[in-house]
Amino acid sequence: MGRITLEQVTKSFGETQVIPPLDLTIEDGEFAVFVGPSGCGKSTLLRLIAGLEDVTSGEIRIDGNAATSLAPAKRGLAMVFQSYALYPHMSVRKNIAFPLRMAKLDQAEIDRRVNGAADVLNLTDYLDRRPGQLSGGQRQRVAIGRAIVREPAAFLFDEPLSNLDAALRVGMRLEISELHERLKTTMIYVTHDQVEAMTMADKIVVLRAGHIEQVGSPLDLYRAPRNLFVAGFIGSPKMNFIIGAEAAKHDAHTIGVRPEHIEVSDSEGMWSGVVGVSEHLGSDTFFHIHDTGLADTLTVRAGGEVGFKHGDRIHLTPRADVIHRFDANGLRLA
């Protein structure tokens, strides 16, 4: 069981309040992702839940029990750190067994759980190596192994993939999702990468300057971002924002159109512009369009084989049903 509730939690370092009063509930078995730009307080929030930082005021409950003043070890949570924080002088086996040794389990039980975890994480061949002899992905798995042997109420991940190269990151992302499917344990995952958030989460919590901007499933956030910040943060490439006369046509201060919701044509369309840089990814092509009279640059996604060149004139038509409208305060208009 691992239902985590935050009630009016705040955190201040000296005079500066990094987390203003905040309420949040993470249901048992949920994969929650805290996402936001760097310095938005997402790691601090995770450390508050872990107990590595003390809350300034407010209540944290784990499964309904007050955990606010409980020591980290007593909360039944396991954490995977950005640097993995493996113990360099211990073998992989000892690293994974460390929390069990601290809990004074008997040796047979420790061996059983360590071997079980090693089996799940494909670490059996590496149990006698030191962390220094492992690759980044293997270290990551050891860190996860150290977390799962404790059979915690919830896992906390603090940007666990940011030290891996791009290919490994995709692989580990799948492994962690797979692990969540298998264990069905609550997971809280902090990242600044919206792709990780979109692909892994059951529930995304978008944070900015300690405030929760929006909470919801990935597709909720994609389809109906509550404000300009969420609209710009979720989705890749970024949503195009258009202000002025074109927005006024839709009775809005700002309209947002995702690059994938614009049709391109060489002959006719609602808008037109000049092709700047085009990024060919094979499956897709992203065109950066200038001189549209709408915004500095519009980003447009087209099929991989669409062949506009730098300097070509291009015509664009947004899909009318997926234009996002925002008012002068940046809030979504229904």
Partner 1 sequence: MATQQSRSAARLMMAPAVVLLLGWMLVPLIMTLWFSFRTYLPLRGGDQGWTGFDNYVRFVTSSAFWPAVQTTLMIVLGVLIITVALGVLLAMLLDQPMWGQGIVRILVIAPFFVMPTVSALVWKNMFMDPVNGLFAHLWRFFGAEPVSWLSDAAMPSIIMIVSWQWLPFATLILLTAIQSLDSEQLEAAEMDGAPPLKRFAFIILPHLARAITIVILIQTIFLLAIFAEIFVTTGGAFGTRTLSYLIFQRVLESQNIGLGSAGGVYAIILANIVAIFLMRIVGKNLDN
- Interface positions with partner 1 (CB under 8 A): 50-52, 71-73, 77-79, 81-83, 85-90, 98-99, 102-103, 130, 146, 150
6/79 with CB nearer partner 1 = 79
Q: Is 84 exposed, middle or buried (0-12, 13-18, 19+ CB in 10 A)?
A: buried
CB of 101 to partner 1, least distance (A): 9
CB of 98 to partner 1, least distance (A): 5
81/286 with CB nearer partner 1 = 81
113/146 with CB nearer partner 1 = 146
CB of 72 to partner 1, least distance (A): 5
CA–CA separation, 322 and 332 (whole Å): 13
CA–CA separation, 183 and 181 (whole Å): 6
CB of 89 to partner 1, least distance (A): 4
CA–CA separation, 290 and 311 (whole Å): 9
Backbone angles phi, psi at 171, to 5 degrees: -65, -45
Q: Is 272 exposed, middle or buried (0-12, 13-18, 19+ CB in 10 A)?
A: middle
Cβ–Cβ < 8 Å for 85, 36: no
CB of 51 to partner 1, least distance (A): 8
Lay out the sheet containing 298-303: strands in order across: 262-265, 313-318, 271-280, 284-290, 298-303
89/223 with CB nearer partner 1 = 89
43/299 with CB nearer partner 1 = 43
